[in-house]
Amino acid sequence: MTNTLDTDVLIVGAGPVGLTLAMDLAQRGIKVMVAEIRRYAEPPNVKCNHVSARTMEQFRRLGVAGKLRQAGLPEDYPNDVVFRTSMTGVELTRIPIPCRRDRYTETVGPDTGWPTPEPPHRINQIYLEPILLEHAAAQSGVTLLNRTQVLDISQASDGVEATLLDINTNTQRKLRARYLVGCDGGSSGVRKQMGAKLEGTAVIQRVQSTFIRTPKLRAMLPGRPAWCYYSVNPRRCGTVFAIDGHDTWLVHNHLNAEEPEFDSVDRDQSIRDILGVGPDFEYEVISKEDWVGRRLVANRFRNGNVFIAGDAAHLWVPYAGYGMNAGIADATNLAWLLAARLQGWADESMLDAYEAERQPITEQVSYFVMDHAQKMIKARRAVPPNIEAEDADGAAARALIGQEAYDLNVQQFCCAGLNFGYFYSGSPIMVTDEEQPPGYTMGGFTPSTVPGCRAPHFWLDDGRSLYDVLGAGYTLLRFDGSVDAAPLIAAAKVARLPLQVIDLQGQSAVPEAYRHKLVLCRSDQHVVWRGDQVPVQPEQLVDILRGVRRQQLKLAA
C-alpha cells in the first residue's frame, strides 16, 4: 500500500445497508466510495416491506425519515395484517396497524404508543431504496461507482487495495481505501475473500414468491383493506403484501417440507388458491422472487481492514421485518466506529467493538426468528380441513385458528422487544456495572439504562426528542445540575473525544429507568456508562470509550 488513498471507506453494494452506511459516514465528514454492479437508479427487487422503528430512528438522525414517510402505500391505506381462509375469503382475525397518515397520532391498537419519535413504517424496498439512493448521492463526500464489480481485495496494515471492473467498458483499475465494507448480499464476494463463513441452518423453508399486477383484485377484497394478507386453507397457505395499494401485490407461497424445489408445485394454481380466485381471474407476473429461509450468521464480521454487514454477515427468515433492518443496525453501528478512527480520536482497537456487539445480537435475533418460523410452519400444517365449512363446526374452527394466529403473530408485527429491548453485552467500549440488562421477547421489553441498552426515549419539555439533541460522538445526560462534570469534559478535550453535556434536570417526562444522575450515551443511542458522579480518574473512562484500554474504572469514593 502507498500512503495515497482514493477514499477513506470503500463500500461494496448500494442496497439499503450500503447506502445507509454511506450516508452515515458522509454525515460525519468521511470520504466514501460505493461500488455497485447495477446501473444508477436501476429498480431493486421487491424484497423488504417494513422499516422498523429502530431503523426509522436512525433515518431521522440521518435526515431522511420525513421523505420515507411520504412514500409507499397511499397515506390512508390501512397497514393492517389480516388472516383469512383465502385473500378473498372469510376473515379469521385482524391485527390493526395505523396507516401512515395516522402513524404519529393513533392511540388505539397493539401497534401504537411506541416509545420512540419514529414508529415503524410499512414501505416496500422498490420505494425505499430510490429515496436512500437520492439522499446518499446528494451528500458531499459520497461517490457512487455504478456498473462496477469488485474482483479482488488485498490488505496491508494501512488499508485495502481493490481491483475494480468497469462492467460497461470491461476495463480494470485499482482503488485504495483505508477500510472496505462488504454490503454485497447473501452471496457476498467480500465475505468469501476475507475468509468468513456462514454457519447455522442452511434451509428452514423455501418460499415460491411472485410479484404480480392485477387491477381487479382490490375490488374483490371483502371488508377493510390490509397491508398483509395471510391465507389459511387446506390447499395452500401463503402471504400477500400490498405493494402500491392499488394494482401490485407480492405473493409468498410457503412450500412444505415434502416440496423441496421451487417448482415442486404449480405456481399459477398456488397463487389462485392463496388469492381465492378461479381459473378465469387474470393477473400479470412482473417477476419471480423465490427465496430460501435460512438461519446463518458469519463466524466473523471483520478481518483487519475489511468488514461485512447486512445479508453478507447474516441471513434468516425475515419475520418481524428483521432482515434489512438488522443490516441497517450493522451499518449505523459500524459507521460511527469507522468515523471515530478516521477522525483520529479513537484507537484502532475500538473497531473490535463492531464484531463484539453485532455478531452476538444477530445470532440471538436469528434464533428468535427461526423459532417463530418453525411455529408458523407447524401452524400451516395444522389447518383443519373444515375451516371453510359453512356450519357451526367450521365457525368454531375459524374462531380457534383466528385466535391462535393473532396470539402468535401480534408479537412479530408489533415487535417492541426486537426494536428496543436488545442490548450489547461484552462490548470493549462500554463500562458495565452490577446490574444485568433486562430480558426481552420479540414483542416486549423493559426500558433500561444498563450500559449496552438503548437509552429510553422521552420528549423534552420544549417538544424535541431526546435523540434529536444527542451529539455525533458521546453525550452526557445530566439529570442533576449540581454534579460536577468538568473533570470528564476536560479529560475528553485532552483526548479529542467528542463529548457534549445536556442538562435535563427538571424535565417532566423522564422515564423511571433514569435512576442515575449521569448517563453517558453514544450517537446510536446506546448507553455506555452511568453513575451519580464522574469517576475519580475520568481519563480512564475516556480511554475505554476510545478503545485504548479495557480495565475496570476506579469509581468515586
Distance CA 421, CA 439 (A): 7
Amino acid 321: pLDDT? 61
Report H helices in 100-194: 125-137, 189-193
Cβ(536)–Cβ(555) under 8 Å? yes
Q: Cα(327)–Cα(12) distance, rounded to whole angstroms?
A: 14
Beta strands in 312-359 (DSSP E): 314-316
State the Cα–Cα distance between residues 445 and 343, nearest whole angstrom. 35
Three-point CA angle 308, 303, 37, nearest 5°: 40
Residue 1's pLDDT is 42
pLDDT at 552: 57
Question: 340 by DSSP, 3-state: which?
Answer: helix
Which pTM value belongs to this model?
0.95
* Residue entry with cell 464522574: 534
Which residue has cell 440471538? Answer: 364
Q: Taking a C-beta distance cutoff of 8 angstroms, is the pair 11, 22 a contact?
A: yes
Give the per-residue pLDDT at 323: 84
Longest CA span, the chain: 81
**Which alpha helices (DSSP H) does 264-315 contain, by range?**
267-275
- For helices 352-381 and 324-342, what crossing angle results, to 10°? 180
Strand 291-298 vs strand 198-213: parallel, antiparallel, or unpaired? antiparallel
Show the DSSP H helices in 77-152 as ranges.
125-137
Cell numbers describing residue 219: 375490488
Written as tens digits, the pLDDT of the chain (557 aa) is 444 679 999 999 999 999 999 999 999 999 999 999 999 999 999 988 999 999 999 999 999 999 999 999 999 999 999 999 999 999 999 999 999 999 999 999 999 999 999 999 999 999 999 999 999 999 999 999 999 999 999 999 899 999 999 999 999 999 999 999 999 999 999 999 999 999 998 888 899 999 999 999 999 999 999 999 999 999 999 999 999 999 999 999 999 889 989 989 999 999 999 999 999 999 999 999 999 988 999 999 999 999 999 999 999 877 656 789 999 999 999 999 999 999 999 999 999 999 999 999 988 888 888 888 888 888 888 899 999 999 999 999 999 999 999 999 999 999 899 899 999 988 999 999 989 999 998 889 999 999 999 999 999 999 999 999 999 999 999 999 999 999 999 999 999 999 999 999 999 999 999 999 999 999 999 999 999 999 999 999 999 999 997 655 555 43
Any residues with CB less than 8 A from the CB of 334 and at least 6 apart, and which?
Answer: 21, 181, 307, 309, 354, 358
The CA R_g of the chain, rounded to the nearest whole Å, is 25
Residue whose C-alpha cell reads 363446526 in the numeric block: 393
- Alpha carbon distance 532, 541 (integer Å): 14
Q: What pLDDT is recorded for position 293?
A: 86
pLDDT, position 556: 45
Q: According to the model, what pLDDT value does residue 319 have? A: 65
